[in-house]
Amino acid sequence: MNDSSLEPKSSPVKWIFLIVGLLAVACLVVTVGGASFFFGQASVNSSPVVETVTVTEYVEVTRVVEVEAAVETAVPIPPTDAPPTPTPLPVMMPAETAVSGPDAIQNLDLSTFYEAWSIIGQQFNGEMPAQEDLLHAIVGGSVETLGDPYTRYVEPDIAARFREDMGGSVEGIGAFVRENEEGFIEIVRPIDGQPADLVGIQAGDLIIGVDGESVVGQNIDEVLLKVRGPQGSVVVLNIFRDGEDELEFTVTRTRFEIPIIETQMATPEIGYVRLAEFNANAEERVREAVSDLMAQGAQSIIFDLRDNPGGFLDQSVGIADLFLPEGVVLYERNNKGEEQTFTAVSGDEAESIPMVVLINAGSASASEIVAGALRDNGRSLLIGETTFGKGSVQQLHTLSDGSELRVTVARWYTPANVSISDSGITPDIEVPSPDDFTLGGEGDTQLQRAIEFLQNGQ
């Protein structure tokens, strides 16, 4: 874009081509959006993420187009006679809209836009935005008119950090966050032993200011960019905590490795696996972890998906398949009436081992796919709290300038043909989270209830 592109005499066709050109796809990824992010900045030349096997940034469910003293007898698990017979899938007809398809851009009259910015250019008493900032605002603002929180535009610098985070060690405060229903940036959980945890930041805290600037009303991408930073630098966070006055924490950022998977023997006969996200290697890592635990004598498995915001769709299907002998994993369909069924096939060593799955409000997207598939097929009991409720699929486009556009392209349904959007998945045994505890550690009453169930069958 050049300076004349904002002049009133410029042809609207230029803007049309600029916008359409910006939406050109460089690569594609289909995502079932996640809910949580890491507050960390990836090192450009960092080594691969270390997936630890010891006693959870941003991720979303993605189908690549480029697109967690027992008896030794079998433990009773909910009926497993046969996978449920799903009800017929209703056809979703395209919704009627004022404009649709290419006409939404091709028939757009931009004369009012040029008129408004001509007046601004002549009369505004202040600094004019850079051309690229204005273009990002145009695309981002127009995407927001769709009213879908998961269809969004991510500016190039933020998108670059997201991509780097998937393959390197992270520099930041070390916390999982999400944008809650009220639009506040909420701490889902500080990572154990990392800066946010060490200064006393807690799950449920709301970030309302960064370095003296209010971030109320800003989206998660904007706040993420402000909180992250290089190792050794300092960030001041203003925190709202229910029942207390506004708190202020000074946090020194550090470099840390993201523990993608954590395992331990919860008892001599019960193995414990916690998966932090469904990254590109999640299925392989879970398979190795379960195999290792079974080799150590595990007679049953606790699979912990708490605070897991999602990831690649193919990984969620693969992990469900690891535990399912056969059956439907999920249905996916769009408003054109197109449907796709993802299924499991037999042949994995973990298909019959007794298990339970732990879930909570931070379990979203791919986590909900796996939890729903295992329960609906009668394979596992769910223990914990109702999940986040993320039942849509996004296709991720990397645009020509490095920015990203995520577009909701379909909805997914559990094997029982149930949509979890907004309502989430309710556990079979509800156990509230304690106010202050470490996942997988002392005081984890949800984990203790899972152990109790596997030991006693109730």
pLDDT tens column, 256-288: 776 789 999 999 999 999 999 998 889 999 999
| pLDDT confidence of residue 117 | 94
Residue 109: CATH number of its domain: 3.90.226.10
| pLDDT confidence of residue 367 | 97
pLDDT: is 438 or 342 the higher one?
A: 342
Evaluate whether residue 121 is within a structural domain.
yes
| pLDDT confidence of residue 169 | 58
202-224 pLDDT, tens per residue?
988 999 999 999 999 988 878 98
| pLDDT confidence of residue 319 | 98
The pLDDT-based confidence of 39 (bands split at 50, 70, 90) is: low
282 and 209 in one domain? no
205 a catalytic residue: no
| pLDDT confidence of residue 38 | 52
336 a catalytic residue: no
pLDDT: is 87 or 354 the higher one?
A: 354
pLDDT: is 43 or 375 the higher one?
A: 375
The pLDDT-based confidence of 85 (bands split at 50, 70, 90) is: very low
d(CA 388, CA 33) in angstroms, rounded, equals 11
Evaluate whether residue 216 is within a structural domain.
yes
| pLDDT confidence of residue 424 | 94
| pLDDT confidence of residue 425 | 97
| pLDDT confidence of residue 15 | 38
| pLDDT confidence of residue 83 | 41
91 and 60 in one domain? yes
Residue 249: CATH number of its domain: 2.30.42.10
Nearest one of 166, 190, 164, 163 to 315, comparing CA atoms: 166
Active site residue: 36, 169, 300, 365, which one?
A: 365
Evaluate whether residue 160 is within a structural domain.
no
103 and 18 in one domain? yes
pLDDT: is 39 or 159 the higher one?
A: 159
Evaluate whether residue 313 is within a structural domain.
yes
Q: Pairing between strand 392-398 and 404-413? A: antiparallel
| pLDDT confidence of residue 22 | 38
| pLDDT confidence of residue 165 | 61
| pLDDT confidence of residue 164 | 64
d(CA 410, CA 167) in angstroms, rounded, equals 28
14 a catalytic residue: no
Evaluate whether residue 193 is within a structural domain.
yes
414 and 327 in one domain? yes
- 3-state SS track over the chain: CCHHHHCCCCCHHHHHHHHHHHCCCCEEEEEECCCCEEEEEECCCCCCCCCCCCCCCCCCEEEECCCCCCCCCCCCCCCCCCCCCCCCCCCCCCCCCCCCCCHHHHCCCCHHHHHHHHHHHHHCCCCCCCHHHHHHHHHHHHHHCCCCCCCEEECHHHHHHHHHHCCCCEEEEEEEEEECCCCCEEEEEECCCCHHHHHCCCCCCEEEEECCEECCCCCHHHHHHHHCCCCCCEEEEEEECCCCCCEEEEEECEEECCCCEEEEEEECCEEEEEECCECCCHHHHHHHHHHHHHHCCCCEEEEECCCCCCECHHHHHHHHHHHCCCEEEEEEECCCCCEEEEEECCCCCCCCCCEEEEECCCCCCHHHHHHHHHHHCCCCEEEECCCCCCCEEEEEEECCCCCEEEEEEEEEECCCCCCCCCCCCCCCEECCCCCCCCCCCCCCHHHHHHHHHHHHCC
Q: Is the pLDDT of residue 389 over 90?
A: yes
pLDDT: is 212 or 34 the higher one?
A: 212
Q: Is the pLDDT of residue 251 over 90?
A: yes
Output the pTM of the full model: 0.70
pLDDT: is 108 or 240 the higher one?
A: 240
Nearest one of 66, 108, 110, 27 to 403, comparing CA atoms: 27
354 and 325 in one domain? yes
| pLDDT confidence of residue 69 | 28
Q: Is the pLDDT of residue 184 over 50?
A: yes
> What are the backbone angles phi and psi of residue 304, rounded to the nearest 5°?
-100, 115
204 and 58 in one domain? no
Active site residue: 205, 314, 321, 376, which one?
A: 376
Residue numbers of the domain that contains 237: 170-256
Evaluate whether residue 351 is within a structural domain.
yes
Active site residue: 390, 392, 433, 444, which one?
A: 390
Q: Is the pLDDT of residue 418 over 70?
A: yes
The pLDDT-based confidence of 430 (bands split at 50, 70, 90) is: very high
Among 206, 232, 256, the domain-final residue is 256
| pLDDT confidence of residue 102 | 56
The pLDDT-based confidence of 29 (bands split at 50, 70, 90) is: very low
pLDDT: is 170 or 366 the higher one?
A: 366
363 and 306 in one domain? yes
300-335 pLDDT, tens per residue?
999 999 989 898 899 999 999 999 999 999 999 998
Q: Is the pLDDT of residue 100 over 80?
A: no
Q: Which of 156-165, 367-376, 384-393 has the lowest mean pLDDT?
A: 156-165
359 and 289 in one domain? yes
Nearest one of 178, 167, 284, 286 to 224, comparing CA atoms: 178
Looking at every residue in the chain, the average pLDDT score rounds to: 79
pLDDT: is 105 or 415 the higher one?
A: 415
Total domains, the chain:
2
Evaluate whether residue 396 is within a structural domain.
yes
Q: Is the pLDDT of residue 447 over 60?
A: yes
Among 224, 256, 288, the domain-final residue is 256
Among 238, 256, 274, the domain-final residue is 256
